Homo-oligomer: A and B are copies of this chain.
Amino acid sequence: MTTTEAASQLLSIGEVAGRTGLSVHALRFYEREGLLVGPVQRTSGGGRRYTSFDVDWLLICVKLRASGMPLADLKHFAELVRQGPGNEAERLRLLDAHRQRVDAQIQALEECRSVIAWKVGVYAEHLARGKAGGLWDPTA
Task: Choose one: B99, B113, B136; the contact of A117 (CB below 8 Å).
Answer: B99
**Distance of A119 Cα from B84 Cα, bound (Å):** 17
Is the Cβ of A139 less than 8 Å from the Cβ of B88? no
Those of A41-61 within 8 Å (CB) of chain B: 53, 56-57, 60
The residue in A89, A108, A109 that gathers the most chain B C-beta atoms within 10 A of its C-beta is A109
Tell me if A's interface is mostly helix, strand, loop or mixed. helix
Interface size on A (CB < 8 Å)? 43
**Distance of A66 Cα from B109 Cα, bound (Å):** 8
Residue numbers in B under 8 Å from A98 (CB-CB): 116
Residue numbers in B under 8 Å from A111 (CB-CB): 63
